[in-house]
Amino acid sequence: MGRAWRALRTIAALRIDRAQAEHRRTSLTERDAERALAAADTDLVEAADAWQRQMAERFDPALGAAYAEVLTRRADALAAATAAHRAAGRDTEAAAETARREQARADAVTTQADAAARLTRRHADERALMAIADRAALAWVRR
């Protein structure tokens, strides 16, 4: 196999490695976003429980306003965490698709390189057979 095909295979392998590393990175980001989403959900539930306890025990307008503000901030944090989780999921899927495309490209390069090597061997075999036939014909003519 020629140097050019080896270089193409090396480049394809490097592209696969890069795509797989990107997929791993986005998978970790998605996992972190999932944890942040769970934490934000827990915080919101705790704040809602505190609000309900305050409402059941005694209603204090100043405390009620503070609880409402906390609930609003935690609901906003939950919405942001949900959006981040969805974006991370999309990024992970895109990185996985890129890794699949790079693998398909590497497979195509390998197939082409193997076909080129077979063709080169076949041509070399044909040239060798022609040389043998020419020598045999020349020997026959000389007799």
**Residue range 36-87, pLDDT digits in tens:** 888 888 888 888 888 788 778 877 777 777 778 888 888 888 888 889 999 9
Domain 3-114, CATH homologous superfamily name and number: Helix Hairpins (1.10.287.620)
- pLDDT, tens digit, 9 for 90 and up, residues 78-133: 888 889 999 999 999 999 999 999 999 899 988 888 888 888 888 888 888 888 88
- Which residue ranges make up each domain of the chain? 3-114
What DSSP line would sit under the chain, residue for residue? --HHHHHHHHHHHHHHHHHHHHHHHHHHHHHHHHHHHHHHHHHHHHHHHHHHHHHHH---HHHHHHHHHHHHHHHHHHHHHHHHHHHHHHHHHHHHHHHHHHHHHHHHHHHHHHHHHHHHHHHHHHHHHHHHHHHHHHHHHH-
Entry pTM: 0.63
Question: What confidence score (pLDDT) does residue 136 get?
Answer: 81
